[in-house]
């Protein structure tokens, strides 16, 4: 995989003195032929990730969740080289396959998690555990989507949630408590990702702090003393210039701030790139303004051609953050999605108390340890107050679940954070007067005595409609609910036969109408839902002709669907498409899975 990530950027940066076409052929062979270089390639088409319980052969295999992301990055690099060489077929194939990163981001947690082959998430998840990871944990690896950070932010619930994630993982630069270890490759891209969330000043300040804290002028002063084939020294050189090649296979450069008043780089083209740092000093990492060849530059990335043709990039630097420079969405470095259509963003944000608008539901100390108190605390915009209202009835922050201690069902049961386990102690539903009801106990989430004292731990208590039980939860993204229209005829829609909600009820094409049998919701977890149940492949079938049915939502791959820009609905578990047999226009024809073929029988228009 290193070959993909190296050959493509060589070419992009102007080192073209090699047979790039032959190199691309070799990279495509490596990416499409099962060898010990890329064990588990058979899983990339279906289910679209490396399963926790997969079989990988003899060697060269690492943690499946992390490896899925590594393979996606390598695939993107192949696609970038193919694009540069005019090979549109391979560019499309590997750009689309690179989007497999979405299959290991759990929308309920917003973090990378490992999955079983049947589509279920592996239990006992802890974001600080290295299980199924490589030289890191979920906190570290969640940011490893360097080619589509706009997509990652959307998958986490938006730019604010992404910024809060970065604030959390970058609490440490040395791996303390499971946070970033910037002296090792899996973490080195993280500080640059603020450029993609509208907060480039955080990149500038964080990169300078890293430079000052983990590099020293001593023989072992390269981060942790391990140069990792030049990766660490290269990171320092790039960061000292005030830029970083975040996106493999391209010449895209995310901007930080230069350490020197001037640096001149001689380029392969014979041109020069001059970087001027006006006011550069160790305590002045913040960009106040910038120009490119004398014209104003208000983007968090280097101009196109900067490292191929050259030019002059001037920074004016200061000791205070300019929180307005290069913060517009259009100022972010490029991101690269493919044909798969992003599912809706999860419902993520603060939960505020009616006792006081300035009080929020809070995980004490931003701890990920089981038993951490869930309390009221002044709203502070941190990740400890980013709660996700998940489709499975849980309420989550930092990868853990809002939980009634010891499964308690009596008044006064304390509320805590705990590893998600599917129990009734972690189920919550909206009740009257803004309440959050735990169905197992029929009690409400309660602020004892309507306390306005910070750090008051919450409890369960008899629902009473008081301000102590009135919570404003994050607004739900605009619902994508309505008809799923067939490609064979705009008058036919996907339909739950006879409007029945029983498990196993057939799903068919039928004349479009406005009944609940045709009101399908595109959910953030990749399911399509009607009447409270999910579109499901019968018996989790993975062969042509597997029939479609409605079934209780259960988190398996039989209910996972990926929409493409070309109108297909791909079942990730099987790699097959939702299909109208023989392009039938007969109402009542039951739908099936079938090999994806691009025909109108497999084209579906989802609700917008």
Give the CA distances from residue 298 to residues 62, 250, 292, 313, 314, in Å, rounded to whole numbers and listed in that order.
41, 21, 9, 12, 12
Burial annotation 228-250 (CB, 10 A radius, 16+ → b, else e): beebbeebbebbbbbbbbbbbbb
What's residue 446's pLDDT?
98
Q: Model confidence at 1, in pLDDT bands (50, 70, 90)?
A: low
Q: What is the pLDDT of residues 489-545, one digit of tens each?
A: 999 999 999 999 999 999 999 999 999 999 999 999 999 999 999 999 999 999 999
How many CB atoms are located within 10 Å of the residue 503 CB? 12
Q: Model confidence at 287, in pLDDT bands (50, 70, 90)?
A: very high
Work out the percent of the chain whose per-residue pLDDT is above 90: 88
What's residue 608's pLDDT?
87
Helices marked H in 470-544: none
Of 369, 319, 311, 378, nearest to 350 by C-alpha is 378
What's residue 576's pLDDT?
97
Q: Rounded to whole angstroms, how far apart are CA atoms 469 and 482? A: 33
Q: What is the pLDDT of residues 168-225, one digit of tens each?
A: 999 999 999 899 999 999 999 999 999 999 999 999 999 999 999 998 888 778 777 6
Q: Rounded to whole angstroms, how far apart are CA atoms 238 and 605? A: 46
Q: Check if the beta carbon of residue 299 is closer than 8 Å to that of residue 326.
A: yes
Q: What is the pLDDT of residues 350-365, one digit of tens each?
A: 999 999 989 999 999 9
Q: Say whether 192 sits in a helix, a strand or coil.
A: helix
Residue 309 has pLDDT above 90, yes or no: yes
Residue 74 has pLDDT above 80, yes or no: yes
Q: Rounded to whole angstroms, how far apart are CA atoms 41 and 35? A: 8
* Range from 14-18, 467-471, 527-531 carrying the lowest mean pLDDT: 14-18
SS (H, E, C) 48-100: CCCCCCCCCCCCCCCCHHHHHHHHHHHHHHHHHHHHHCCCHHHHHHHHHHHHH
Chain position carrying tokens 């555990």: 129
The model carries a pTM of 0.94
What's residue 4's pLDDT?
57
Residue 234 has pLDDT above 60, yes or no: yes
Chain position carrying tokens 């579109």: 535
Helix (H) or strand (E) holding 7: helix 2-12
Stretch 57-75: mean pLDDT: 88
Chain position carrying tokens 């970083």: 244
How many CB atoms are located within 10 Å of the residue 304 CB? 12
Work out the percent of the chain whose per-residue pLDDT is above 70: 99
Q: Model confidence at 3, in pLDDT bands (50, 70, 90)?
A: low
**Domains within the chain, CATH numbers bracketed:** 2-240 (1.20.1610.10), 348-472 (2.80.10.50), 481-605 (2.80.10.50)
Q: Rounded to whole angstroms, how far apart are CA atoms 519 and 533? A: 11
């Amino acid at each position: 995989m290193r070959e993909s990530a190296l050959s493509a950027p060589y070419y992009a940066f102007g080192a073209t003195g090699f047979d790039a076409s032959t190199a691309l052929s070799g990279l495509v062979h490596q990416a499409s032929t099962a060898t010990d270089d890329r064990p588990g390639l058979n899983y990339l088409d279906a289910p679209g990730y490396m399963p926790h319980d997969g079989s990988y052969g003899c060697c060269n295999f690492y943690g499946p969740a992390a490896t899925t992301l590594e393979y996606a990055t390598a695939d993107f690099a192949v696609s970038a080289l193919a694009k540069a060489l005019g090979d549109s077929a391979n560019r499309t194939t590997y750009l689309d396959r690179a989007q497999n990163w979405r299959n290991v981001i759990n929308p309920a947690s917003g973090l990378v998690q490992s999955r079983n082959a049947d589509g279920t998430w592996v239990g006992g998840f802890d974001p600080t555990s290295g299980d199924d990871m490589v030289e890191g944990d979920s906190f570290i690896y969640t940011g490893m989507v360097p080619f589509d950070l706009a997509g990652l932010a959307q998958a986490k619930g938006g730019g604010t949630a992404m910024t809060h994630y970065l604030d959390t993982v970058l609490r440490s630069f040395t791996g303390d408590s499971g946070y970033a270890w910037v002296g090792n490759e899996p973490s080195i891209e993280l500080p640059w990702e603020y450029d993609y969330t509208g907060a480039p000043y955080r990149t500038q300040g964080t990169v300078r702090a890293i430079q000052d804290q983990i590099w020293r002028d001593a023989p072992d002063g390269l981060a942790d003393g391990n140069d990792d084939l030049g990766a660490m020294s290269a990171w320092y050189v790039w960061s000292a210039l005030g830029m970083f090649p975040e996106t493999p296979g391209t010449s895209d450069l995310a901007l930080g701030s230069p350490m020197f008043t001037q640096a001149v780089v001689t380029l392969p083209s014979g041109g020069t790139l001059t970087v001027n740092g006006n006011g550069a000093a160790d305590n002045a990492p913040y960009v106040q303004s910038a120009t490119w060849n004398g014209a104003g530059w208000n983007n968090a990335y280097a101009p196109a051609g900067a490292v191929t043709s050259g030019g002059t990039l001037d920074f004016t630097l200061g000791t205070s953050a300019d929180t307005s420079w290069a913060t517009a969405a259009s100022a972010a470095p490029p991101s690269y999605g493919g044909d798969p259509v992003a599912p809706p963003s999860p419902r993520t944000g603060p939960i505020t108390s009616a006792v006081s608008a300035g009080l929020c539901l809070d995980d004490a100390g931003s701890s990920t340890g089981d038993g951490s108190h869930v309390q009221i605390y002044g709203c502070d915009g941190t990740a400890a107050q980013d709660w996700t209202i998940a489709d499975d009835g849980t309420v989550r922050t930092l990868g853990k679940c809002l939980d009634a201690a010891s499964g308690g069902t009596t008044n006064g049961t304390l509320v805590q954070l705990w590893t998600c386990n599917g129990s009734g102690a972690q189920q919550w539903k909206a009740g009257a007067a803004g309440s959050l009801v735990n169905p197992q106990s029929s009690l409400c989430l309660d602020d004892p005595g309507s306390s306005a004292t910070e750090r008051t731990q919450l409890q369960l208590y008899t629902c009473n409609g008081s301000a102590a039980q009135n919570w404003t939860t994050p607004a739900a993204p605009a619902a994508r609910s309505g008809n799923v229209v067939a490609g064979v005829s705009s008058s036919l829609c996907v339909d739950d036969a006879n409007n029945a909600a029983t498990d196993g009820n057939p799903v068919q094409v039928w004349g479009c109408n406005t009944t609940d049998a045709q009101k399908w919701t595109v959910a953030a977890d990749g399911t399509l839902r009607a009447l409270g149940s999910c579109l499901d492949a019968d018996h989790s079938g993975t062969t042509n002709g597997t029939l479609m049915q409605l079934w209780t939502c259960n988190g398996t791959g039989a209910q996972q669907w990926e929409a493409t820009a070309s109108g297909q609905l791909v079942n990730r578990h099987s790699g097959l498409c939702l299909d109208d047999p023989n392009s039938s226009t007969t109402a009542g024809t039951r739908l099936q899975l079938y090999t994806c073929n691009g025909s109108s029988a497999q084209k579906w228009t989802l609700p917008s």
